[in-house]
Chains A and B, each alone.
Chain A
Amino acid sequence: MEAELRDKPSFANLRVKMQPGDAIVAEADAMANMSSTIQMTTQWNGGVVQAILKRFLGGESLFVNRFTTDQGGELVITQPYPGDMACLELKGNTMFLQPGAFVACEPGVKLGLGWAGWRMLIGGEGLFRLKVSGNGRIWFGAYGGIFQKEIDEEYIVDTGHLVAYEPSIGVRVGMAGGLFSSFFSGEGLVTRVNGPGRIYLQSRSFGGLAAWTNAHL
């Protein structure tokens, strides 16, 4: 299965050239177009209970679509908002994704939920993370550009900019500075990440877009 991320970084989408017998799992409503030789089946996102938990706690869809083909074909998968997409290859390792970042994966990838902690809820980041593990490629998306960073010590990321990270990364939510500067600098709460490990960041945040739009209404 050949996969290519196109129109990066603003309007990235994934074109998959499927060979007979290939399969790919994608987020509900992610398919933009496909050959008529590809069959789509809808399934619970990891079982009924798991799907409900992922929907309400992980910000993911209740259902995922599985695309298969006997004759081969082309499939284009996209995300609902403008921004970049990235590919990760899992080789038995685990990654955590922010709610809503998952776009597609190969069938060998397992989608689960990881507890994020009460503080993350206060930081507006949700109580759970999507935990992807197993073997295979995974494609995830972001609002704005995606860049990765290797960190070893503590590193500060504004809430809403963290997209994915390795399990070796410690994540906690805290104030940007003192009580006064945290509330009047516009930064409020920030995410403090601790290495070693790799983090993926998005250059824009939905919270920022919402605040900007609100200010102009």
Chain B
Amino acid sequence: MSQIFSGGVFSSDLSDGRAGVEIELLSSHVCASTAEGDAFVIPYEQCSVEQGGYSGKMLFCRNPDRSITIFSEDPSFLAALDEASRGLLSEQLAAERAKSKRQSRRGSLFVTGIVVGAAILIVLLYYGVRVGADRVTKALPVSLDKQIGKMAYQAMPKEGTEVHDPQLVDPIRGIVSRLAEHAKVEGLDFDLHVVDSPTVNAFCLPGGTMVVYTGLISASESPEQLAAVIAHEMSHATLRHGVSRISQSMGLSAAVSLIIGDSAGLLAAGEEFFRNASINSYSRQQESDADGEGVMMLHKAGIDPSGMPGLFEVLKEEHGEVPEALIWISTHPDHETRIAETKMMIQSLPDKNYDTIDLDWSEIQSRVTNSVEMKSE
């Protein structure tokens, strides 16, 4: 029994060149009949088949001179045509099936390629802009660091009142000056502020604005130990870690504008960054670099760099568990590693006779009004 399928026909014999038809698959030919009674016939042996159309699933049967095209989108039309033609069209139909599969596979590959390509491009663009911004930042004059540092210092909350006692501040300023002579970058002003706070911390903002808390002075056993922390913090400024971190924290658009020469975004991001982020929020690599540079500065300034691992030892022994007040050490890589690393750095330095810092350290410490408040467990 023949099957009927709905479909259409294209023929120049029709007034509009096309009509909707009912397709009947007979024993020797495919026959399409319009509602008006016109019939179009293609014998199977003369039929060439092709799959296509909007959906890609439409099957077209054409006569040799292509004057008649009978088509249907019925999903079972292809199999029925294969059966009705008794193998005459099998080869063509198999080729069309294979072509359809190939196209669908190519389509999937194309879309996957586009999606993966777009994802890779976005990632590359993101990191490219970040790296580009970092490079540009490093190429900017240090006057920009100073501007950021001053803005940040004014904007940031202070943990205590500034100490102006010359007997306490001047000796520390002396240590800073001694180290500043060996700064890796010229043009930085290491402007020291001693702040009355039990916090065991010190930091140096971009451009050289520096804060040392009295808590750190009390915790240091010798001026060399304090000098080690100061050298480490000054190294963050000389290695320009602050602006590097700011450029990393900037939005992509600000980073792009920096690359094309507009540094206003960097200034705004700098103020925002230091107002909201922890002062010591540098990466581990930056901390290690600052340790290394700090050791080098101490060495060049003739100050014994063993003050650095020395301070770590003291803090470790006295406060195994790092209490909250010891911010300086708690935001840095674990002190065991740092002790080992800094000791190795010091060993690799050429031999030198270091001058002891000639200060009455206990007298200086006695001028610190606040004692370090440790949190007991």
Chain B positions 33 through 44: 1 when the CB is less than 8 Å from some CB of chain A, otherwise 0: 000000000000
Q: Determine which of B17, B53, B55, B66 lies in contact with A150 in the assembled complex, contact meaning CB atoms within 8 Å.
A: B17
Name, among A93, A170, A171, the residue most crowded by chain B CB atoms within 10 Å (CB to CB). A170
Task: Decide if A110 is an interface residue (CB 8 Å cutoff).
Answer: no
Interface contact A152-B66, CB-CB below 8 Å: yes
Residues of B within 8 A of A168 (CB): 8, 10, 52-54, 58, 60, 71
Q: Determine which of A92, A93, A129, A169 lies in contact with B53 in the assembled complex, contact meaning CB atoms within 8 Å.
A: A169
**How many pairs of A and B residues are in contact by the CB < 8 Å rule?**
50
Task: Decide if A194 is an interface residue (CB 8 Å cutoff).
Answer: yes
Q: Determine which of A91, A119, A171 lies in contact with B54 in the assembled complex, contact meaning CB atoms within 8 Å.
A: A171
Residues of B within 8 A of A100 (CB): none
Name, among B52, B56, B71, B73, the residue most crowded by chain A CB atoms within 10 Å (CB to CB). B52
B window 9-25: CB within 8 A of A: 10, 17-18, 20
B50 to chain A, nearest CB (A): 9
A91 and B69 in contact, given A122-B114, A170-B53 (Cβ under 8 angstroms): no
Q: Determine which of B8, B54, B69, B71 lies in contact with A93 in the assembled complex, contact meaning CB atoms within 8 Å.
A: B8
Interface contact A169-B54, CB-CB below 8 Å: yes
- Minimum CB distance partner of A168 in chain B: B53
Residues of B within 8 A of A91 (CB): 20
Interface contact B58-A196, CB-CB below 8 Å: no
Interface contact A167-B66, CB-CB below 8 Å: no
Task: Decide if B111 is an interface residue (CB 8 Å cutoff).
Answer: yes
- Minimum CB distance partner of B56 in chain A: A170
Interface contact B66-A170, CB-CB below 8 Å: no
Q: How large is the interface on A (under 10, 10 to 19, 20 to 34, 35 or more residues)?
A: 20 to 34
Residues of A within 8 A of B66 (CB): 152
- Minimum CB distance partner of B118 in chain A: A122
Chain A positions 98 through 128: 1 when the CB is less than 8 Å from some CB of chain B, otherwise 0: 0000000000000000100111001000000
A114 and B54 in contact, given A150-B17, A168-B60 (Cβ under 8 angstroms): yes
Task: Decide if B126 is an interface residue (CB 8 Å cutoff).
Answer: no
A119 CA / B109 CA spacing, docked (Å): 11
Chain B positions 233 through 244: 1 when the CB is less than 8 Å from some CB of chain A, otherwise 0: 000000000000
A168 CA / B55 CA spacing, docked (Å): 8
Interface contact B20-A118, CB-CB below 8 Å: no
Task: Decide if B107 is an interface residue (CB 8 Å cutoff).
Answer: yes
Interface contact B69-A119, CB-CB below 8 Å: no
A97 to chain B, nearest CB (A): 12
B86 to chain A, nearest CB (A): 27
Residues of B within 8 A of A197 (CB): 10, 18, 53
B window 48-79: CB within 8 A of A: 52-56, 58, 60, 66, 69, 71, 73
Task: Decide if A143 is an interface residue (CB 8 Å cutoff).
Answer: no
B10 to chain A, nearest CB (A): 5
- Minimum CB distance partner of B7 in chain A: A168
Task: Decide if B110 is an interface residue (CB 8 Å cutoff).
Answer: yes
Task: Decide if A96 is an interface residue (CB 8 Å cutoff).
Answer: yes
Residues of B within 8 A of A63 (CB): none
A window 156-179: CB within 8 A of B: 165-171
Residues of B within 8 A of A92 (CB): 20
Interface contact A167-B55, CB-CB below 8 Å: yes
Q: Which 4 A-B pairs have the closest CB atoms?
A: A170-B52, A118-B111, A167-B54, A196-B10
The interface of chain A, by Cβ under 8 A from chain B, is 91-93, 96, 114, 117-119, 122, 129, 150, 152, 165-171, 194, 196-198
Residue pairs across A and B with Cβ atoms less than 8 A apart, 30 shown, are: A91-B20, A92-B20, A93-B8, A93-B20, A96-B54, A114-B54, A117-B107, A118-B110, A118-B114, A119-B110, A119-B111, A129-B54, A167-B58, A168-B8, A168-B10, A168-B52, A168-B53, A168-B54, A168-B60, A169-B53, A169-B54, A170-B52, A170-B53, A170-B54, A194-B52, A196-B10, A196-B69, A197-B10, A197-B53, A198-B18
